């Protein structure tokens, strides 16, 4: 009875009522229950991500703790590069595991521990000391996140068939955004006037990561062959035109992730309360995820290549709109930058759904971890470089930097046109 209910629920979510392509008989029988577990565990981790968002929540927290601005500037490079660069080493470890879900489970537990350390630092430290402690804990969180990232695509590919993977990850993104919207509403309500509410939110994030790990551990995963687990390195790129092109497109679409801080620069200082300011930004990002993630996921199941093209265009339009509002003298209007951020985050969530689905569907079934590791490592290097060069905005101006990002997004859309369609290719 439970299996029938799970099957009907999964069919409604994914729109697929046919046997899962690319899965063995045992995996097909467990697909519905596994898919629902994926959705619930991912929803919890995505809520946690929103509650501890480095570019918004942690940056605000460091400011409230009196930490020098250099620490806030280091948050995004630490989290993004730290979660991507270790994957080239972790992929080999994952490939030697018969059941790769345990890499994700322990990675999620590690993120929970790191979040708890951040909350503890916020309660007991101030100034530069708090900055060092929170950045160190964030680095730990990023490495644990890398273990989850490099293993997840492998596990998803083994447990959920093509044409429904985007629906699983997309629904999780939309469901989780509800929790983040509630958080943003509390910040904007005026009911809380101290940083205590932010610390409680970070502690809640810690609990969500641990709970997600417990649920994910119940996924039924067919053991993988381990004797083929050779070390992962950049040799995978040799002669692999499609992977090179995908990495280039994804690298150019990084512009959608790098642009938000510059929108804040254009907006200037706000007269609203500090927590209200934070709430408006968190709300814009969460609403974008709520209205778009599931849609992007379903579209990715049909053609993740076209999703990458469309998100490049939408991202470029949003970034150009921000610059246009600045030229018109409207950038500091209370609605301007939150509105632009909403559009930009729609593009950003589309990028996340499209790139994830495309990579899982493109990679041979025994090389998903390797493909993910190589791709993510290259992108991590780009993000680290972007973090080092971030100060260049002070020289060329936020407006010029944003226009460069817009050009990058357009170039990504053009190049994505030459990517092959992968949704209906054999996984062998």
Average the pLDDT over 32-56 and give the result: 88
Q: What is the mean pLDDT of the chain?
A: 83
- In this predicted structure, the answer to whether residue 210 has a pLDDT above a threshold of 70 is yes
Question: For residues 202, 203, 204 and 205, what is the CA-based torsion angle, rounded to 10 degrees?
Answer: 50
| pLDDT at residue 124 in the model | 94
All domains of the chain, ordered by start, with CATH?
Answer: 29-218+232-416 (1.20.1250.20)
CA–CA gap between residue 261 and residue 100 (Å, rounded): 36
* Cα first-last separation, the chain: 34
Instruction: Answer for the pair 418, 245: CB distance below 8 angstroms, yes or no.
Output: yes
| pLDDT at residue 272 in the model | 40
| pLDDT at residue 426 in the model | 54
Tokens 């080239």 label which residue? Answer: 88
Q: How many degrees, rounded to 5, is the angle at CA 108 between CA 141 and CA 46?
A: 85
Question: For residues 381, 389, 312 and 142, what is the CA-based torsion angle, rounded to 10 degrees?
Answer: 40
pTM (global) more than 0.85: no
Give the pLDDT confidence of 139-193 residue by residue, as tens digits.
999 999 999 988 887 888 888 877 777 778 778 877 888 888 888 888 877 666 6
Q: In 125-216, which ranges are continuous DSSP H helix? A: 127-159, 165-189, 196-216
Q: Two tokens at 8?
A: 């009907």
| pLDDT at residue 424 in the model | 63
> What are the DSSP calls for 375-389, one per residue?
HHHHHHHHHHHHHHG
Mapped onto helix, strand or coil, the DSSP state of residue 24 is coil
């Amino acid at each position: 009875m439970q299996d029938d209910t799970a099957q009907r629920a999964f069919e409604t979510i994914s729109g697929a009522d046919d046997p899962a392509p690319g899965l063995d008989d045992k995996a097909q029988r467990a697909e519905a229950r596994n898919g629902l577990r994926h959705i619930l565990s991912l929803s919890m981790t995505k809520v946690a991500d929103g509650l501890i968002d480095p570019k918004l929540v942690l940056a605000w927290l460091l400011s409230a703790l009196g930490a020098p601005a250099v620490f806030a500037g280091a948050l995004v490079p630490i989290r993004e590069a730290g979660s991507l660069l270790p994957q080239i080493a972790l992929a080999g470890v994952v490939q030697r595991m018969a059941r790769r879900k345990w890499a994700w489970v322990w990675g999620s537990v590690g993120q929970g521990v790191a979040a708890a350390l951040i909350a503890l630092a916020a309660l007991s430290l101030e100034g530069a000391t708090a900055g060092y402690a929170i950045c160190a804990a964030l680095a730990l969180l990023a490495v644990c996140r890398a273990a989850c990232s490099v293993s997840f695509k492998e596990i998803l590919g083994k447990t959920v068939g093509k044409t429904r993977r985007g629906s699983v990850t997309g629904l999780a993104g939309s469901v989780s955004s509800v929790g983040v919207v509630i958080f943003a509403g509390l910040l904007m309500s005026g009911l809380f006037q101290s940083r205590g509410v932010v610390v409680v939110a970070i502690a809640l994030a810690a609990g969500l990561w641990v709970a997600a790990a417990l649920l994910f551990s119940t996924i039924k995963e067919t053991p993988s062959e381990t004797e083929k687990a050779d070390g992962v390195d950049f040799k995978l790129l040799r002669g692999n035109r499609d992977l090179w092109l995908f990495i280039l497109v994804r690298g150019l679409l990084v512009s959608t992730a790098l642009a938000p801080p510059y929108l804040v620069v254009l907006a200037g200082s706000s007269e609203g309360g500090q927590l209200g300011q934070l709430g408006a930004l968190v709300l814009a990002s969460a609403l974008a995820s709520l209205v778009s993630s599931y849609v992007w996921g379903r579209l990715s199941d049909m053609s993740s290549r076209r999703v990458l093209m469309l998100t490049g265009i939408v991202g470029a339009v949003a970034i150009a709109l921000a610059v246009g509002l600045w030229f018109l003298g409207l950038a500091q209007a209370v609605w301007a930058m939150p509105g632009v951020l909403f559009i930009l985050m729609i593009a950003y969530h589309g990028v996340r759904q499209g790139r994830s689905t495309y990579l899982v569907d493109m990679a041979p079934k025994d090389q998903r971890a390797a493909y993910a590791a190589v791709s993510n490592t290259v992108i991590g290097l780009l993000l680290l470089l972007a973090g080092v060069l971030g100060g260049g905005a002070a020289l060329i101006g936020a407006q010029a930097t944003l226009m460069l990002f817009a050009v990058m997004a357009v170039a990504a859309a053009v190049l994505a046109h030459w990517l092959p369609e992968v949704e209906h290719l054999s996984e062998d």
